[in-house]
Chains A and B, each alone.
Chain A
Amino acid sequence: MIDGIIALYIFMLAAFTGYEVIARVPVILHTPLMSGSNFVHGIVLVGAMVALFRATTPLERVIGTLGVALAAGNAVGGYVVTERMLEMFKKSGGKKS
Protein backbone atom coordinates (compact mmCIF):
# COMPACT_ATOMS: atom_id res chain seq x y z
CA MET A 1 0.00 0.00 0.00
CA ILE A 2 2.62 2.57 1.01
CA ASP A 3 6.01 2.08 -0.50
CA GLY A 4 9.25 3.40 0.97
CA ILE A 5 9.72 6.75 -0.72
CA ILE A 6 5.99 7.59 -0.63
CA ALA A 7 6.06 6.92 3.11
CA LEU A 8 8.92 9.38 3.45
CA TYR A 9 6.93 12.00 1.51
CA ILE A 10 3.96 11.49 3.82
CA PHE A 11 6.29 11.78 6.81
CA MET A 12 7.82 15.02 5.56
CA LEU A 13 4.54 16.69 4.61
CA ALA A 14 2.86 15.69 7.85
CA ALA A 15 5.80 17.11 9.81
CA PHE A 16 5.42 20.46 8.06
CA THR A 17 1.67 20.37 8.62
CA GLY A 18 2.09 19.82 12.35
CA TYR A 19 4.57 22.65 12.60
CA GLU A 20 2.42 25.12 10.65
CA VAL A 21 -0.81 24.29 12.45
CA ILE A 22 0.75 25.05 15.82
CA ALA A 23 3.01 27.94 14.80
CA ARG A 24 0.52 30.71 15.53
CA VAL A 25 -1.12 29.36 18.67
CA PRO A 26 -1.51 31.85 21.54
CA VAL A 27 0.01 30.91 24.90
CA ILE A 28 -3.47 30.85 26.43
CA LEU A 29 -4.16 27.63 24.52
CA HIS A 30 -0.87 25.82 25.14
CA THR A 31 -2.18 23.46 27.79
CA PRO A 32 -5.42 22.51 25.99
CA LEU A 33 -3.53 22.13 22.73
CA MET A 34 -0.94 19.86 24.28
CA SER A 35 -3.79 17.84 25.67
CA GLY A 36 -5.50 17.88 22.25
CA SER A 37 -2.40 16.64 20.45
CA ASN A 38 -2.06 14.04 23.18
CA PHE A 39 -5.55 12.90 22.21
CA VAL A 40 -4.66 12.77 18.51
CA HIS A 41 -1.85 10.27 19.03
CA GLY A 42 -4.48 8.09 20.63
CA ILE A 43 -4.91 6.90 17.02
CA VAL A 44 -2.36 4.31 18.13
CA LEU A 45 -5.56 2.47 19.13
CA VAL A 46 -6.17 1.33 15.53
CA GLY A 47 -2.65 -0.07 15.34
CA ALA A 48 -3.01 -1.86 18.66
CA MET A 49 -6.32 -3.34 17.43
CA VAL A 50 -4.69 -4.70 14.28
CA ALA A 51 -1.79 -6.11 16.32
CA LEU A 52 -4.25 -7.89 18.61
CA PHE A 53 -6.34 -9.20 15.68
CA ARG A 54 -3.18 -10.79 14.27
CA ALA A 55 -2.02 -12.32 17.57
CA THR A 56 -1.43 -16.07 17.46
CA THR A 57 0.38 -16.96 20.69
CA PRO A 58 -0.86 -16.38 24.25
CA LEU A 59 2.02 -13.94 24.87
CA GLU A 60 1.10 -11.86 21.82
CA ARG A 61 -2.50 -11.92 22.94
CA VAL A 62 -1.65 -10.63 26.43
CA ILE A 63 0.60 -7.83 25.11
CA GLY A 64 -1.94 -6.96 22.42
CA THR A 65 -4.79 -6.71 24.91
CA LEU A 66 -2.67 -4.53 27.16
CA GLY A 67 -1.80 -2.34 24.17
CA VAL A 68 -5.43 -1.89 23.17
CA ALA A 69 -6.46 -1.03 26.75
CA LEU A 70 -3.65 1.53 27.08
CA ALA A 71 -4.42 3.05 23.69
CA ALA A 72 -8.12 3.32 24.50
CA GLY A 73 -7.14 5.05 27.76
CA ASN A 74 -5.00 7.52 25.81
CA ALA A 75 -7.79 8.30 23.35
CA VAL A 76 -10.74 8.49 25.74
CA GLY A 77 -8.84 10.22 28.56
CA GLY A 78 -7.27 12.70 26.16
CA TYR A 79 -10.66 13.57 24.73
CA VAL A 80 -12.42 13.97 28.07
CA VAL A 81 -9.85 16.30 29.65
CA THR A 82 -9.37 18.40 26.51
CA GLU A 83 -13.10 18.82 26.11
CA ARG A 84 -13.46 19.77 29.78
CA MET A 85 -10.80 22.45 29.49
CA LEU A 86 -12.03 23.94 26.22
CA GLU A 87 -15.63 23.92 27.38
CA MET A 88 -14.72 26.57 29.97
CA PHE A 89 -13.21 29.05 27.54
CA LYS A 90 -15.75 31.74 26.82
CA LYS A 91 -15.87 35.38 25.80
CA SER A 92 -17.24 38.10 28.03
CA GLY A 93 -20.92 38.66 27.34
CA GLY A 94 -21.92 35.19 28.39
CA LYS A 95 -22.43 33.22 25.16
CA LYS A 96 -20.26 30.19 24.85
CA SER A 97 -18.46 30.00 21.56
Chain B
Amino acid sequence: MNALNRDVASALINAAYLLTAFLFIMGLKRMSAPSTARGGILWAGIGMVLATVVTFLAPWGLGIESPELTTNVVLTVVAIAAGGGVAAYTGRRVAMTDMPQMIALYNGMGGGAAAAIAAVELYSDEPRGLMVGSLAVLGGLIGAVSFSGSAIAFGKLQGLIKKSFRFGGQKWLNLAILVAALLLGSGIATGTNAGMVWVTGFFVAALVLGVTMTLPIGGADMPVVISLYNALTGLAVAFEGFVLNNAAMIIAGTVVGSAGTLLTQLMAKAMNRSLGNVLFAGFGESAAAGTTTVTGSQKPIEASDAGVMMAFAQKVIVVPGYGLAVAQAQHKVWELAQLLADHGVTVKFAIHPVAGRMPGHMNVLLAEAGVPYDLISDLDEINAEFETCDVALIIGANDVVNPVARNDKSSPIYGMPILNADKSKNVIVIKRGQGQGFSGIENALFYLDNTRMLYGDAQAALNQLIQAVKTVG
Protein backbone atom coordinates (compact mmCIF):
# COMPACT_ATOMS: atom_id res chain seq x y z
CA MET B 1 0.00 0.00 0.00
CA ASN B 2 2.17 2.89 -1.13
CA ALA B 3 1.34 6.59 -1.17
CA LEU B 4 0.39 6.74 -4.83
CA ASN B 5 -2.10 3.90 -4.45
CA ARG B 6 -3.66 5.68 -1.54
CA ASP B 7 -4.09 8.93 -3.46
CA VAL B 8 -5.56 7.17 -6.49
CA ALA B 9 -7.99 5.11 -4.40
CA SER B 10 -9.04 8.11 -2.38
CA ALA B 11 -9.67 10.21 -5.52
CA LEU B 12 -11.68 7.40 -7.11
CA ILE B 13 -13.84 7.05 -4.01
CA ASN B 14 -14.50 10.79 -3.79
CA ALA B 15 -15.35 11.08 -7.48
CA ALA B 16 -17.72 8.12 -7.25
CA TYR B 17 -19.45 9.53 -4.14
CA LEU B 18 -19.93 12.87 -5.89
CA LEU B 19 -21.51 11.12 -8.86
CA THR B 20 -23.69 9.08 -6.47
CA ALA B 21 -24.94 12.21 -4.74
CA PHE B 22 -25.84 13.65 -8.15
CA LEU B 23 -27.64 10.45 -9.19
CA PHE B 24 -29.60 10.33 -5.91
CA ILE B 25 -30.83 13.91 -6.21
CA MET B 26 -31.72 13.53 -9.89
CA GLY B 27 -33.39 10.22 -9.09
CA LEU B 28 -35.56 11.74 -6.36
CA LYS B 29 -36.37 14.65 -8.66
CA ARG B 30 -37.52 12.26 -11.38
CA MET B 31 -39.47 10.21 -8.85
CA SER B 32 -41.60 13.25 -8.05
CA ALA B 33 -43.40 13.18 -11.44
CA PRO B 34 -45.41 10.17 -12.65
CA SER B 35 -44.01 10.05 -16.19
CA THR B 36 -40.36 9.98 -15.13
CA ALA B 37 -40.75 8.19 -11.80
CA ARG B 38 -39.67 4.80 -12.99
CA GLY B 39 -36.44 6.14 -14.47
CA GLY B 40 -35.84 7.94 -11.17
CA ILE B 41 -35.47 4.83 -9.06
CA LEU B 42 -33.15 3.38 -11.71
CA TRP B 43 -30.85 6.44 -11.51
CA ALA B 44 -30.75 6.20 -7.74
CA GLY B 45 -30.13 2.46 -7.97
CA ILE B 46 -27.12 2.97 -10.25
CA GLY B 47 -25.77 5.49 -7.75
CA MET B 48 -26.12 2.97 -4.93
CA VAL B 49 -24.31 0.20 -6.82
CA LEU B 50 -21.51 2.57 -7.79
CA ALA B 51 -21.01 3.77 -4.22
CA THR B 52 -21.05 0.23 -2.83
CA VAL B 53 -18.54 -1.12 -5.34
CA VAL B 54 -16.12 1.76 -4.95
CA THR B 55 -16.24 1.49 -1.15
CA PHE B 56 -14.34 -1.79 -1.46
CA LEU B 57 -11.37 0.48 -2.26
CA ALA B 58 -11.74 2.12 1.16
CA PRO B 59 -9.03 0.01 2.86
CA TRP B 60 -6.51 1.64 0.46
CA GLY B 61 -8.17 5.05 0.20
CA LEU B 62 -8.44 5.50 3.97
CA GLY B 63 -5.28 3.58 4.81
CA ILE B 64 -7.09 1.12 7.05
CA GLU B 65 -4.62 -1.35 8.50
CA SER B 66 -6.58 -3.74 10.62
CA PRO B 67 -4.66 -6.95 11.27
CA GLU B 68 -7.63 -8.95 10.10
CA LEU B 69 -8.65 -6.84 7.16
CA THR B 70 -9.17 -9.86 4.91
CA THR B 71 -11.57 -11.42 7.40
CA ASN B 72 -13.45 -8.14 7.62
CA VAL B 73 -13.80 -7.87 3.84
CA VAL B 74 -15.05 -11.45 3.61
CA LEU B 75 -17.55 -10.73 6.41
CA THR B 76 -18.72 -7.65 4.50
CA VAL B 77 -19.40 -9.61 1.34
CA VAL B 78 -21.26 -12.32 3.28
CA ALA B 79 -23.32 -9.76 5.20
CA ILE B 80 -24.29 -7.89 2.01
CA ALA B 81 -25.31 -11.14 0.34
CA ALA B 82 -27.34 -12.26 3.37
CA GLY B 83 -29.08 -8.94 4.11
CA GLY B 84 -29.63 -8.11 0.46
CA GLY B 85 -30.81 -11.62 -0.37
CA VAL B 86 -33.45 -11.74 2.36
CA ALA B 87 -34.66 -8.23 1.47
CA ALA B 88 -34.85 -9.00 -2.26
CA TYR B 89 -36.86 -12.15 -1.54
CA THR B 90 -39.33 -10.50 0.84
CA GLY B 91 -39.55 -7.34 -1.28
CA ARG B 92 -40.58 -9.30 -4.35
CA ARG B 93 -43.22 -11.32 -2.51
CA VAL B 94 -44.96 -8.67 -0.43
CA ALA B 95 -48.52 -7.82 -1.50
CA MET B 96 -49.22 -4.23 -2.52
CA THR B 97 -51.70 -3.85 0.34
CA ASP B 98 -48.91 -4.67 2.80
CA MET B 99 -46.51 -2.12 1.34
CA PRO B 100 -46.63 0.42 4.21
CA GLN B 101 -45.38 -2.01 6.84
CA MET B 102 -42.71 -3.32 4.48
CA ILE B 103 -41.39 0.21 4.00
CA ALA B 104 -41.38 0.54 7.80
CA LEU B 105 -39.33 -2.63 8.09
CA TYR B 106 -36.68 -1.63 5.55
CA ASN B 107 -36.53 1.83 7.07
CA GLY B 108 -35.95 0.34 10.51
CA MET B 109 -33.06 -1.69 9.10
CA GLY B 110 -31.43 1.52 7.87
CA GLY B 111 -31.85 3.05 11.33
CA GLY B 112 -30.35 -0.05 12.88
CA ALA B 113 -27.36 0.17 10.54
CA ALA B 114 -26.78 3.81 11.52
CA ALA B 115 -26.95 2.79 15.18
CA ALA B 116 -24.48 -0.04 14.49
CA ILE B 117 -21.99 2.42 12.99
CA ALA B 118 -22.37 4.57 16.10
CA ALA B 119 -21.90 1.51 18.32
CA VAL B 120 -18.63 0.50 16.60
CA GLU B 121 -17.39 4.06 17.03
CA LEU B 122 -18.50 4.41 20.66
CA TYR B 123 -17.37 0.98 21.87
CA SER B 124 -13.83 1.71 20.69
CA ASP B 125 -11.88 3.35 23.52
CA GLU B 126 -9.87 5.63 21.23
CA PRO B 127 -10.25 9.26 22.29
CA ARG B 128 -12.36 11.35 19.93
CA GLY B 129 -13.28 15.00 19.63
CA LEU B 130 -16.39 16.26 21.38
CA MET B 131 -17.99 17.15 18.03
CA VAL B 132 -17.50 13.72 16.49
CA GLY B 133 -18.53 12.02 19.73
CA SER B 134 -21.71 14.07 20.07
CA LEU B 135 -22.73 13.41 16.48
CA ALA B 136 -22.07 9.70 16.90
CA VAL B 137 -24.24 9.69 20.03
CA LEU B 138 -27.06 11.67 18.40
CA GLY B 139 -27.00 9.54 15.25
CA GLY B 140 -26.93 6.40 17.37
CA LEU B 141 -29.87 7.58 19.47
CA ILE B 142 -32.01 8.54 16.48
CA GLY B 143 -31.04 5.42 14.54
CA ALA B 144 -31.85 3.10 17.45
CA VAL B 145 -35.21 4.81 18.09
CA SER B 146 -36.04 4.50 14.39
CA PHE B 147 -35.00 0.83 14.45
CA SER B 148 -37.16 -0.32 17.36
CA GLY B 149 -39.96 2.15 16.58
CA SER B 150 -40.22 0.94 12.99
CA ALA B 151 -40.30 -2.65 14.20
CA ILE B 152 -43.30 -1.80 16.41
CA ALA B 153 -44.96 0.05 13.50
CA PHE B 154 -44.47 -3.04 11.36
CA GLY B 155 -45.95 -5.25 14.07
CA LYS B 156 -49.00 -3.03 14.38
CA LEU B 157 -49.77 -2.77 10.68
CA GLN B 158 -49.10 -6.45 10.15
CA GLY B 159 -51.61 -7.19 12.92
CA LEU B 160 -49.05 -8.79 15.23
CA ILE B 161 -49.63 -6.14 17.87
CA LYS B 162 -53.32 -5.41 18.18
CA LYS B 163 -53.54 -3.24 21.26
CA SER B 164 -52.59 0.39 21.73
CA PHE B 165 -50.89 0.51 25.12
CA ARG B 166 -51.81 3.71 26.86
CA PHE B 167 -51.62 4.77 30.47
CA GLY B 168 -51.48 8.05 32.32
CA GLY B 169 -48.03 9.62 32.57
CA GLN B 170 -46.80 7.85 29.46
CA LYS B 171 -45.37 11.12 28.18
CA TRP B 172 -43.37 11.51 31.38
CA LEU B 173 -42.03 7.99 31.13
CA ASN B 174 -40.87 8.67 27.57
CA LEU B 175 -39.30 11.95 28.65
CA ALA B 176 -37.50 10.18 31.51
CA ILE B 177 -36.09 7.55 29.15
CA LEU B 178 -35.00 10.26 26.69
CA VAL B 179 -33.23 12.18 29.47
CA ALA B 180 -31.55 8.99 30.67
CA ALA B 181 -30.35 8.21 27.13
CA LEU B 182 -29.03 11.76 26.70
CA LEU B 183 -27.22 11.65 30.06
CA LEU B 184 -25.57 8.34 29.24
CA GLY B 185 -24.83 9.70 25.76
CA SER B 186 -23.11 12.83 27.04
CA GLY B 187 -21.03 10.61 29.30
CA ILE B 188 -19.73 8.53 26.42
CA ALA B 189 -19.42 11.23 23.74
CA THR B 190 -15.79 12.05 24.43
CA GLY B 191 -14.70 8.45 24.82
CA THR B 192 -12.64 9.20 27.94
CA ASN B 193 -14.81 7.60 30.59
CA ALA B 194 -16.76 5.30 28.32
CA GLY B 195 -17.09 1.94 29.96
CA MET B 196 -18.82 -0.87 28.11
CA VAL B 197 -21.66 -0.61 30.61
CA TRP B 198 -22.38 3.04 29.79
CA VAL B 199 -22.39 2.48 26.06
CA THR B 200 -24.62 -0.56 26.36
CA GLY B 201 -26.95 1.29 28.73
CA PHE B 202 -27.19 4.15 26.23
CA PHE B 203 -28.23 1.87 23.38
CA VAL B 204 -30.70 -0.07 25.53
CA ALA B 205 -32.34 3.19 26.62
CA ALA B 206 -32.58 4.36 23.00
CA LEU B 207 -34.13 1.08 21.84
CA VAL B 208 -36.64 1.10 24.70
CA LEU B 209 -37.57 4.70 23.87
CA GLY B 210 -38.46 3.70 20.30
CA VAL B 211 -40.79 1.00 21.65
CA THR B 212 -42.53 3.11 24.31
CA MET B 213 -42.92 6.03 21.88
CA THR B 214 -44.59 3.93 19.21
CA LEU B 215 -46.77 1.53 21.21
CA PRO B 216 -49.47 4.07 22.19
CA ILE B 217 -49.96 5.30 18.62
CA GLY B 218 -53.03 3.98 16.83
CA GLY B 219 -52.88 2.09 13.55
CA ALA B 220 -54.57 4.85 11.58
CA ASP B 221 -51.81 7.29 12.47
CA MET B 222 -49.05 4.83 11.66
CA PRO B 223 -48.25 6.15 8.14
CA VAL B 224 -47.31 9.52 9.59
CA VAL B 225 -45.10 7.79 12.14
CA ILE B 226 -43.42 5.63 9.49
CA SER B 227 -42.77 8.73 7.42
CA LEU B 228 -41.32 10.45 10.48
CA TYR B 229 -39.01 7.52 11.21
CA ASN B 230 -37.97 7.59 7.55
CA ALA B 231 -36.89 11.22 7.96
CA LEU B 232 -35.18 10.40 11.27
CA THR B 233 -33.20 7.55 9.73
CA GLY B 234 -32.03 9.99 7.05
CA LEU B 235 -30.84 12.35 9.76
CA ALA B 236 -29.08 9.55 11.65
CA VAL B 237 -27.30 8.52 8.44
CA ALA B 238 -26.19 12.13 7.89
CA PHE B 239 -24.82 12.36 11.46
CA GLU B 240 -22.89 9.12 11.11
CA GLY B 241 -21.67 10.51 7.77
CA PHE B 242 -20.06 13.39 9.69
CA VAL B 243 -18.49 10.90 12.08
CA LEU B 244 -17.00 8.86 9.24
CA ASN B 245 -16.20 11.92 7.12
CA ASN B 246 -18.30 10.46 4.33
CA ALA B 247 -19.79 13.08 1.99
CA ALA B 248 -22.17 10.68 0.22
CA MET B 249 -23.80 9.76 3.53
CA ILE B 250 -24.02 13.38 4.66
CA ILE B 251 -25.69 14.52 1.45
CA ALA B 252 -28.04 11.57 0.93
CA GLY B 253 -28.97 11.43 4.62
CA THR B 254 -29.70 15.14 4.84
CA VAL B 255 -31.71 15.18 1.62
CA VAL B 256 -33.87 12.32 2.94
CA GLY B 257 -34.07 13.98 6.34
CA SER B 258 -35.53 17.21 4.97
CA ALA B 259 -37.61 15.60 2.20
CA GLY B 260 -38.99 13.12 4.71
CA THR B 261 -39.89 15.86 7.17
CA LEU B 262 -41.80 17.71 4.46
CA LEU B 263 -43.52 14.50 3.38
CA THR B 264 -44.49 13.81 7.01
CA GLN B 265 -46.03 17.26 7.32
CA LEU B 266 -47.93 16.82 4.05
CA MET B 267 -49.32 13.50 5.26
CA ALA B 268 -50.28 14.83 8.68
CA LYS B 269 -52.00 17.79 7.03
CA ALA B 270 -53.91 15.54 4.65
CA MET B 271 -55.15 13.56 7.65
CA ASN B 272 -56.09 16.73 9.53
CA ARG B 273 -53.71 15.81 12.35
CA SER B 274 -50.78 17.75 13.67
CA LEU B 275 -47.57 15.87 14.26
CA GLY B 276 -47.72 16.67 17.97
CA ASN B 277 -51.19 15.20 18.08
CA VAL B 278 -50.09 11.98 16.44
CA LEU B 279 -47.14 11.51 18.77
CA PHE B 280 -48.64 12.62 22.06
CA ALA B 281 -52.36 11.88 21.93
CA GLY B 282 -54.20 8.79 20.86
CA PHE B 283 -56.93 9.30 18.30
CA GLY B 284 -60.33 9.70 19.79
CA GLU B 285 -59.19 11.07 23.13
CA SER B 286 -60.29 14.57 22.28
CA ALA B 287 -63.12 13.42 20.05
CA ALA B 288 -66.14 13.50 22.34
CA ALA B 289 -67.99 11.81 19.47
CA GLY B 290 -70.42 13.58 17.18
CA THR B 291 -72.73 15.94 18.94
CA THR B 292 -74.75 16.28 15.77
CA THR B 293 -77.75 14.11 15.35
CA VAL B 294 -78.20 13.07 11.77
CA THR B 295 -81.79 13.07 10.64
CA GLY B 296 -83.36 11.01 7.90
CA SER B 297 -82.78 7.41 7.00
CA GLN B 298 -80.44 5.36 4.88
CA LYS B 299 -82.16 4.33 1.65
CA PRO B 300 -81.08 1.04 0.14
CA ILE B 301 -80.85 0.29 -3.59
CA GLU B 302 -80.65 -2.92 -5.61
CA ALA B 303 -77.52 -3.57 -7.66
CA SER B 304 -79.57 -3.86 -10.86
CA ASP B 305 -81.06 -0.38 -10.44
CA ALA B 306 -77.69 1.08 -9.54
CA GLY B 307 -76.14 -0.52 -12.62
CA VAL B 308 -78.76 0.98 -14.90
CA MET B 309 -78.34 4.37 -13.28
CA MET B 310 -74.62 4.33 -14.00
CA ALA B 311 -74.88 2.90 -17.51
CA PHE B 312 -77.04 5.84 -18.60
CA ALA B 313 -74.98 8.47 -16.81
CA GLN B 314 -72.73 10.97 -18.55
CA LYS B 315 -70.10 11.07 -15.90
CA VAL B 316 -69.30 8.77 -12.98
CA ILE B 317 -66.72 9.53 -10.32
CA VAL B 318 -65.50 6.57 -8.29
CA VAL B 319 -64.31 7.26 -4.74
CA PRO B 320 -62.41 4.22 -3.47
CA GLY B 321 -61.43 3.83 0.18
CA TYR B 322 -59.49 1.30 2.15
CA GLY B 323 -62.53 -1.00 2.27
CA LEU B 324 -61.95 -1.57 -1.44
CA ALA B 325 -58.41 -2.74 -0.83
CA VAL B 326 -59.43 -4.95 2.09
CA ALA B 327 -61.93 -6.69 -0.19
CA GLN B 328 -59.22 -6.97 -2.90
CA ALA B 329 -61.71 -5.46 -5.32
CA GLN B 330 -59.36 -3.11 -7.25
CA HIS B 331 -59.51 -5.27 -10.36
CA LYS B 332 -63.31 -5.45 -10.26
CA VAL B 333 -63.69 -1.69 -10.02
CA TRP B 334 -61.43 -1.24 -13.07
CA GLU B 335 -63.46 -3.85 -14.96
CA LEU B 336 -66.63 -1.91 -14.13
CA ALA B 337 -65.00 1.36 -15.18
CA GLN B 338 -63.96 -0.07 -18.54
CA LEU B 339 -67.44 -1.46 -19.09
CA LEU B 340 -68.99 1.93 -18.35
CA ALA B 341 -66.51 3.61 -20.67
CA ASP B 342 -67.73 1.28 -23.43
CA HIS B 343 -71.20 2.71 -22.82
CA GLY B 344 -69.83 6.19 -23.42
CA VAL B 345 -69.69 7.14 -19.76
CA THR B 346 -66.81 9.31 -18.59
CA VAL B 347 -65.30 7.57 -15.58
CA LYS B 348 -62.84 9.17 -13.20
CA PHE B 349 -61.30 8.11 -9.92
CA ALA B 350 -61.11 10.55 -7.02
CA ILE B 351 -58.56 9.71 -4.39
CA HIS B 352 -58.47 11.30 -1.00
CA PRO B 353 -54.94 11.68 0.36
CA VAL B 354 -55.66 9.29 3.22
CA ALA B 355 -57.51 6.67 1.18
CA GLY B 356 -55.60 3.47 1.69
CA ARG B 357 -53.16 3.17 4.51
CA MET B 358 -50.92 6.07 3.63
CA PRO B 359 -51.13 8.96 1.20
CA GLY B 360 -50.66 7.62 -2.30
CA HIS B 361 -51.22 3.99 -1.26
CA MET B 362 -54.58 3.79 -3.05
CA ASN B 363 -52.94 5.05 -6.25
CA VAL B 364 -50.50 2.16 -6.02
CA LEU B 365 -53.34 -0.32 -5.51
CA LEU B 366 -55.29 1.04 -8.48
CA ALA B 367 -52.15 1.09 -10.60
CA GLU B 368 -51.68 -2.58 -9.72
CA ALA B 369 -55.15 -3.28 -11.13
CA GLY B 370 -54.16 -1.49 -14.35
CA VAL B 371 -55.92 1.85 -13.88
CA PRO B 372 -53.94 4.50 -15.83
CA TYR B 373 -52.75 7.33 -13.62
CA ASP B 374 -54.26 10.06 -15.79
CA LEU B 375 -57.77 8.84 -14.87
CA ILE B 376 -56.93 9.28 -11.20
CA SER B 377 -57.37 12.73 -9.69
CA ASP B 378 -56.59 13.97 -6.24
CA LEU B 379 -58.77 16.12 -4.07
CA ASP B 380 -57.94 19.59 -5.40
CA GLU B 381 -58.25 18.58 -9.03
CA ILE B 382 -61.60 16.84 -8.82
CA ASN B 383 -63.64 18.57 -6.14
CA ALA B 384 -65.19 21.10 -8.54
CA GLU B 385 -66.25 18.28 -10.87
CA PHE B 386 -68.67 16.60 -8.48
CA GLU B 387 -71.29 19.24 -9.29
CA THR B 388 -71.35 18.15 -12.93
CA CYS B 389 -71.23 14.46 -12.12
CA ASP B 390 -74.26 12.19 -12.42
CA VAL B 391 -73.21 9.40 -10.11
CA ALA B 392 -70.59 9.35 -7.39
CA LEU B 393 -69.77 5.74 -6.51
CA ILE B 394 -68.34 5.46 -3.00
CA ILE B 395 -66.65 2.15 -2.28
CA GLY B 396 -65.39 1.43 1.22
CA ALA B 397 -64.74 5.10 2.00
CA ASN B 398 -66.42 6.90 4.85
CA ASP B 399 -64.92 9.81 6.77
CA VAL B 400 -63.28 11.27 3.67
CA VAL B 401 -66.68 12.00 2.11
CA ASN B 402 -68.47 13.09 5.28
CA PRO B 403 -69.89 16.58 4.71
CA VAL B 404 -69.91 17.37 8.44
CA ALA B 405 -66.18 18.00 8.07
CA ARG B 406 -67.21 21.04 6.04
CA ASN B 407 -70.12 22.40 8.00
CA ASP B 408 -70.23 21.13 11.59
CA LYS B 409 -67.77 22.94 13.80
CA SER B 410 -68.39 20.62 16.75
CA SER B 411 -67.37 17.53 14.84
CA PRO B 412 -63.93 16.06 15.58
CA ILE B 413 -63.21 15.82 11.87
CA TYR B 414 -64.25 19.43 11.23
CA GLY B 415 -61.74 21.13 8.94
CA MET B 416 -60.44 17.94 7.34
CA PRO B 417 -60.40 18.38 3.57
CA ILE B 418 -63.00 16.04 2.08
CA LEU B 419 -64.18 14.96 -1.34
CA ASN B 420 -67.44 16.78 -2.07
CA ALA B 421 -69.28 13.67 -3.23
CA ASP B 422 -72.50 15.01 -1.68
CA LYS B 423 -72.64 17.66 -4.43
CA SER B 424 -73.09 15.18 -7.23
CA LYS B 425 -76.58 14.44 -8.57
CA ASN B 426 -76.67 10.89 -7.27
CA VAL B 427 -74.55 9.08 -4.76
CA ILE B 428 -74.24 5.31 -4.52
CA VAL B 429 -72.46 3.96 -1.47
CA ILE B 430 -71.18 0.40 -1.40
CA LYS B 431 -70.80 -0.56 2.23
CA ARG B 432 -70.72 -3.72 4.31
CA GLY B 433 -73.27 -2.55 6.84
CA GLN B 434 -74.59 0.45 8.69
CA GLY B 435 -71.49 1.00 10.85
CA GLN B 436 -69.35 4.08 11.23
CA GLY B 437 -65.85 5.02 10.04
CA PHE B 438 -62.77 4.54 12.21
CA SER B 439 -63.41 7.89 13.83
CA GLY B 440 -66.80 6.62 14.98
CA ILE B 441 -68.69 9.55 13.48
CA GLU B 442 -72.05 9.29 11.77
CA ASN B 443 -71.74 10.08 8.09
CA ALA B 444 -74.34 12.66 7.04
CA LEU B 445 -73.73 11.76 3.40
CA PHE B 446 -75.44 8.40 3.87
CA TYR B 447 -78.67 10.10 4.92
CA LEU B 448 -78.98 12.59 2.06
CA ASP B 449 -81.95 12.45 -0.29
CA ASN B 450 -79.78 11.79 -3.32
CA THR B 451 -77.87 8.95 -1.64
CA ARG B 452 -78.61 5.25 -2.08
CA MET B 453 -76.92 2.48 -0.11
CA LEU B 454 -75.80 -0.73 -1.77
CA TYR B 455 -75.06 -3.09 1.11
CA GLY B 456 -72.56 -5.88 0.73
CA ASP B 457 -68.94 -6.83 0.37
CA ALA B 458 -67.20 -4.61 -2.20
CA GLN B 459 -66.13 -7.52 -4.36
CA ALA B 460 -69.61 -9.09 -4.49
CA ALA B 461 -71.40 -5.77 -4.96
CA LEU B 462 -69.12 -4.80 -7.84
CA ASN B 463 -69.73 -8.17 -9.46
CA GLN B 464 -73.47 -7.54 -9.33
CA LEU B 465 -73.00 -4.06 -10.75
CA ILE B 466 -70.92 -5.44 -13.62
CA GLN B 467 -73.67 -7.96 -14.43
CA ALA B 468 -76.30 -5.23 -14.24
CA VAL B 469 -74.42 -2.96 -16.64
CA LYS B 470 -73.86 -5.89 -19.01
CA THR B 471 -77.58 -6.62 -19.20
CA VAL B 472 -78.18 -3.02 -20.28
CA GLY B 473 -76.22 -4.14 -23.33
Contact = CB atoms under 8 A, between A and B. Distances in A.
B83 A51 contact: no
Interface stretch (B110-118, B285-293, B387-395): B110-118
A50 to B, nearest CB: 5
Given A40-B256, A70-B110, A86-B41, A47 B359 contact: no
Interface string A11-54: 10011111101111111111111111111111111111111111
Contacts of B247: 1-2, 10
B110 A19 contact: no
A14 B40 contact: no
B240 interface: yes
A17 B123 CA distance: 34
A50 B67 contact: no
Nearest to B25: A17
A53 B250 contact: no
Contacts of A1: 14, 245, 247
Contact of B83 (A50, A64, A72, A93): A72
Interface residues of B, number: 126
A43 B57 CA distance: 16
A61 B110 contact: no
Contacts of B75: 52, 61, 64-65, 68
A96 B253 CA distance: 31
Contacts of B40: 36, 86
A96 B88 CA distance: 24
B220 to A, nearest CB: 16
Contact of B110 (A22, A44, A54, A92): A44
A83 B96 CA distance: 12
A90 to B, nearest CB: 6
Interface string B109-152: 11011111101110110000001000000000000000000000
Which residue, of B31, B44, B114, has the highest number of chain A Cβ atoms within 10 A?
A: B31
A85 B364 contact: yes
A76 B86 CA distance: 9
B66 interface: yes
A52 B73 CA distance: 8
B259 A44 contact: no
Nearest to A35: B103
Contact of B257 (A18, A26, A47, A85): A18
A14 B239 CA distance: 13
Given A44-B113, A70-B109, A76-B87, A35 B55 contact: no
B106 interface: yes
A91 B35 contact: yes
Contact of A16 (B51, B55, B253, B258): B258
A47 B241 contact: yes
Contacts of A48: 113, 116-117
Which residue, of A43, A77, A97, has the highest number of chain B Cβ atoms within 10 A?
A: A43
Contacts of B58: 49-50, 53
A67 to B, nearest CB: 3
B234 interface: yes
Contacts of A45: 48, 51-52, 55, 80, 113
B260 interface: yes
14 contacts: A17-B258, A25-B263, A26-B34, A49-B76, A52-B79, A55-B72, A57-B124, A77-B91, A79-B91, A80-B91, A88-B367, A89-B38, A90-B372, A91-B35
The 8 closest A-B pairs by CB, nearest first: A67-B116, A80-B91, A30-B360, A77-B87, A72-B83, A69-B83, A92-B372, A18-B258
Interface of A: 1-2, 4, 7, 10-11, 14-19, 21-57, 59-61, 63-93, 96-97
Interface of B: 14, 17, 20, 24-25, 27-29, 31-38, 40-42, 44-45, 48, 51-52, 55-56, 58-59, 62, 64, 66-69, 71-73, 75-76, 78-88, 90-92, 94, 96, 99-100, 102-103, 105-107, 109-110, 112-117, 119-121, 123-124, 131, 226-227, 230, 233-234, 237-238, 240-242, 244-260, 262-263, 266-267, 270, 351, 353, 356, 358-361, 363-364, 367-368, 372-376, 378-379
Given A29-B363, A91-B372, 6 more contacts: A10-B247, A18-B255, A41-B253, A49-B55, A51-B120, A87-B38
